[in-house]
Amino acid sequence: SPLNPLFQAMESEVSAAFDSGEPEDVLSRAFKLSVTREDICTLQPRGWLNDRIMNFYMGLLVERSKKEGYPAVHAFNTFFYSKLSSTSHKGVKKWTKGVDIFEHDVILVPVHLRTHWTLLVVDLREKTIKYFDSLGQKGDHICKTILKYLEEESREKRNIELTASEWTLHSMGSEEIPQQNNGNDCGVFVCKFADFISRDKPIIFTQEHMPYFRRKMVWEIIHQQLL
């Protein structure tokens, strides 16, 4: 097929990213982040994605959302939720300096729970807060924490009271979204949940797609471009 040479070129590029050179080599720079070969190697099979890979990928999703026909997306940094939950709105007030999050359609909040990545998604169009966990755990308290944050942010920045009762909070069940069947793909699941949601697409991938998604993400991060 005509795609084969392209696919082979991509494959050899991905292999080179993993195999040749020093761990501290910088392979991509954007969004005030430098991604090294060591970071990229977390995308190898069974690797645990780190904050830099997660934040870089969220940056790519936000960039894409500025194009015609995509929902407007705001993504918080992976450190946002732990800071918010350990302090309060005051502790993260400066994180939205110069940004009105309420002008967006979708807000992505990657959540790091010690050794597990999950995703919280605010849809401002639908007034929903949904929690996506590829191990099927509930995150109702995380949804509530974010709703409280939105109330305080709205009051502070726009002087508008949100009506909490208009909002729907929901932890996605294991029968509603794909689940991982190992202990290391949670970061990839979070990135792909965010990818599909930020295009308003139904989440139709499965555990089987993970090896392919990992390699694809290497290429996308190095080229700073989503395929």
Is 39 noted as a catalytic residue in this protein?
A: no
At 26, list the tokens.
């910088």
One of 39, 133, 185, 195 is an active-site residue; which one? Answer: 133
Is 191 noted as a catalytic residue in this protein?
A: no
One of 74, 112, 143, 186 is an active-site residue; which one? Answer: 186
What residues pair up with 128 in beta bridges, in sequence order? 123, 168
At 70, list the tokens.
């995509």
One of 41, 89, 116, 170 is an active-site residue; which one? Answer: 116
Is 116 noted as a catalytic residue in this protein?
A: yes
Measured distance CA(33)–CA(55) in Å, rounded = 8
Which residue numbers are catalytic?
Answer: 116, 133, 186
